[in-house]
Amino acid sequence: MMRTGMIDPDFLALPLRPVADAALGRARELGAEHADVRIERTTRQMLRLRDGKVATALDSSTVGLAVRVILEGTWGFASHLELTAQAAVATAQRAVEVARSLRPLNAERVELAAEPVHADAVWVGDYEIDPFTVPLQEKVALLSEWSRRLLAADGVEHTEVHLRAEKEIKFYADSAGTSTTQQRVRLHPAATAIAVNRAAGSFESMRTCAPPTARGWEYLAGNTFWDWDGELARIPGWLAEKVKAPSVQPGRYDLVIDPTNLWLTIHESVGHATEYDRAIGYEAAYAGSSFATPDKLGTLRYGSPAMHVTGDRTQPHGLATLGYDDDGVATSQWDLVSGGTLVGYQTDRVFARRLGLERSAGCAYADSPHHVPIQRMANVSLQPDPDTDTATAELISGVRRGIYIVGDRSWSIDMQRYNFQFTGQRFYRIEDGTLAGQLRDVAYQATTTDFWGALEAVGGRCTWLLGGALNCGKAQPGQVAAVSHGCPSALLRGITVLNSRAEASR
């Protein structure tokens, strides 16, 4: 295993500069006012074990060349898998043809917010061990051991264990003179234990809450960054308790939500709602738009004064963290919601200019050389209490009748980010400030501004956790992005809780 910190030499050995120069030169000759080239290689590994046996082991990689041009104020995009100067010239020509043939459909001239030139910039993510240098056998052995431990416990009939590993290397060059080379990795391990009750015709499961991360294999080697041994040891007991737990009485409850669950609620109700492209309708036919429209910037009461949400692409080990985006913009951190008021958006260079900002927030991203960059989510994080380091138990102690929710599971939100419904891994009844055993069949449902308006308190730094997902979907053709969300525990008053069994019965 090697210690990383530099771009993979075999990527640097590709004809990056000659291919980019050929494409940029051809685009310029054909009259493009802007052109950019990306050469990317993404390597993925998917490993799935079912009941301790390997069900899926798939290694894949994608390499390609993308050319994007602006011709007479119209975008044109083309890509090809071959990395030769000849293919680059042909791809640049195709991008120009696409722009020219679709020019009659364009009513809004494309213009980019200014950005300083970043020449020959290099950025490598903060990880120690490249997961692709670890032998498959070692990974299978670790996941088999997890399965074995879970299956050895009473009441666990089946297990599903999976590991996703990804490495993304991007070379970017544009007609203004910026060129960047960047490399990062991401990992998502997860283990699920399943109990089956045939007599009752039911089954139940419990999954690890360990988030995906932009760390390397060091995340899995030992208990430094996540208590794997502790969580795996406790899952069978948690599962057994959940199976026997009483079904929740629907109604209004005070909720204490653990960061392992709250990150997803932030993702859906704040992360997507503060994407500027959604707010002005660019995703309206697909992923949806947003209730948080630009006319409300600076005035919308998003939530209570305890709500401070930032966007960033700089958080260490964050899944959306990178030095420069796919518009060649240097990344940063900024406020989205401050003191409960909407104060900012996520933007790329086109949308920053349209919003009247001097610079882009650096949110352009394409998940593949064969997809066009679009505005994608930064790490959108709820900040902890700046003054008091309140523990989760202290938040719970302030609740007379409520539910403490741990771990994410089912999620759904409408196309303007108003109405959502979430479930979780574990739900604990809170009685007079203390936990009183698990409940089951809990789903919480709310409208975004009502929910965040009911935020009475956030936990302190000691409760803060960087959660996230590898599978955030957006755009047509569909693109997938990885994103992290940091948050503390939070106390929300009077939230509607449904019983999911009762919802199903008729």
Partner 1 sequence: MTSGMALGPDELTETALAASKADGCIVLLTDTSEVNLRWANSTMTTNGHTTTRSFSVISMVDGADGAAIGVVSGNGVDLDEVRTAVAASEEAARQSGPARDAAPLIQGAVDDDFATPAAATEIDVFARLTDELAGAFRSSRGRIAGSAGSDELLYGFAEHRLETTWLASSTGLRRRWVQPTGTVELNGKTADDLTRSAWAGAYTADFTDVDLTALAAEVRRRLSWSARRRELPAGRYETILPPSAVADLMLHLVLSMDGRPAHEGRSAFAAPGGAPGGTRIGERLTDLPLTLSSDPTAPGLRTAPFLTTTASGDSVSVFDNGAPIPRVDWLRDGTVNALAYPRAAATELGGRFTPPPENLVLSGGSSASTDDLVGRTERGLLLTCLWYIREVDPVSLLLTGLTRDGVYLIEGGEVVGQVNNFRFNESPIDLIRRAGEVGTTQSALGRELKDWFSRTAMPPVRIPDFNMSSVSQAS
Within 243-272, the residues that bind partner 1 by CB under 8 A are none
Whole-angstrom Cα distance, residue 207 to residue 444?
19
Q: Return the residues of window 429-448 that contact partner 1 according to CB under 8 A.
A: 441, 443, 445, 447
Q: Does 224 bind partner 1 (CB under 8 A)?
A: no
| Interface characters, 42-81, with partner 1 (x: CB under 8 A) | ----x-x-x--xxxxxxxxxxxx---------xxxxxxxx
Going by C-alpha positions, the residue among 271, 236, 276, 264 that lies closest to residue 156 is: 236
Nearer to partner 1, 3 or 252 (CB): 252
Among the candidate windows 118-126, 130-138, 301-309, 341-349, which touches partner 1 by CB under 8 A?
130-138
Q: What does the DSSP assignment read for 212-281?
A: PBS--GGGTSSSSSS-HHHHHHHHHHHHHHHHHSPBPPPEEEEEEE-HHHHHHHHIIIIITTTBHHHHTT
Nearer to partner 1, 247 or 434 (CB): 247
Helix (H) or strand (E) holding 394: helix 392-397
Q: Is the dihedral of CA 349, 319, 472, 418 positive or negative?
A: negative
Q: Does 282 bind partner 1 (CB under 8 A)?
A: yes
Q: Return the residues of window 322-361 that contact partner 1 according to CB under 8 A.
A: none
Min separation Cβ 34 and partner 1, Å: 15
Among 104, 358, 400, 432, binds partner 1 (CB under 8 A): 104
Among the candidate windows 15-23, 162-170, 301-309, 496-504, which touches partner 1 by CB under 8 A?
496-504
Among the candidate windows 275-283, 338-346, 385-393, 394-402, which touches partner 1 by CB under 8 A?
275-283
Pairing label, strands 121-124, 179-197: parallel
Q: Does 200 bind partner 1 (CB under 8 A)?
A: yes
Q: Return the residues of window 398-427 that contact partner 1 according to CB under 8 A.
A: 410-419, 421, 423
Q: Return the residues of window 134-193 that contact partner 1 according to CB under 8 A.
A: 135-137, 140, 157-158
Helix (H) or strand (E) holding 61: strand 53-71
Position 135: which residue type?
A: P
Among the candidate windows 202-210, 231-239, 256-264, 316-324, which touches partner 1 by CB under 8 A?
202-210
Q: How far apart are the first and last CA of the chain?
A: 57
Residues in the chain: 506
Among 164, 349, 371, 474, binds partner 1 (CB under 8 A): 371
Please identify which residue in the block is written with the tokens 């698990």.
438
Helix (H) or strand (E) holding 401: strand 401-413
Evaluate whether 9 touches 53 at the Cβ level (below 8 Å). Answer: no
